[in-house]
Amino acid sequence: DTAVSQTPKYLVTQMGNDKSIKCEQNLGHDTMYWYKQDSKKFLKIMFSYNNKELIINETVPNRFSPKSPDKAHLNLHINSLELGDSAVYFCASSQVGLSSGEQFFGPGTRLTVL
């Protein structure tokens, strides 16, 4: 029943570790996104994939690597975690096609780096 799901919901880890966040959508959308929301609630796009192809890659450190094995999944792997990576990460999907549809967001993953 869930439209966009993310796992895990909470992630607490030490600096320097590598971690992954998984995202899946069952809406049949062709575009998926990763956003970072910092402690001030500012929402910034990180990546966007359309039909498994990377179309937007903001100025994100290359420690962040998205992977889209198929249209329904967009995972985020983070290497060598830093304190500044602590944030809530949202996955989203939308049907772009001929027009830009609204985005459906996952519940978010709260990442805390100690």
Q: Enumerate binding residues for other proteins (CB under 8 A).
A: 33, 40-45, 48, 50, 55-56, 58, 88, 90, 92, 96-105, 107-108
* Three-state secondary-structure class, residue 16: coil
Question: Do you find a cis peptide bond into 8, omega within 30 degrees of 0?
Answer: yes
Q: For residues 45 and 72, which CB has a smaller minimum distance to other proteins in the complex?
A: 45
How wide is the angle at C-alpha 8 spanned by C-alphas 112 and 66, nearest 5°?
A: 85
Q: For residues 70 and 102, which CB has a smaller minimum distance to other proteins in the complex?
A: 102
14, 15, 21, 32 from 67: Cα distances, Å: 23, 22, 10, 11
Q: How far is the CB of 8 from other proteins (least distance, A)?
A: 14
Q: How far is the CB of 56 from other proteins (least distance, A)?
A: 5
Structure tokens at 33: 């996104």
Q: For residues 14 and 39, which CB has a smaller minimum distance to other proteins in the complex?
A: 39
Q: How far is the CB of 16 from other proteins (least distance, A)?
A: 27
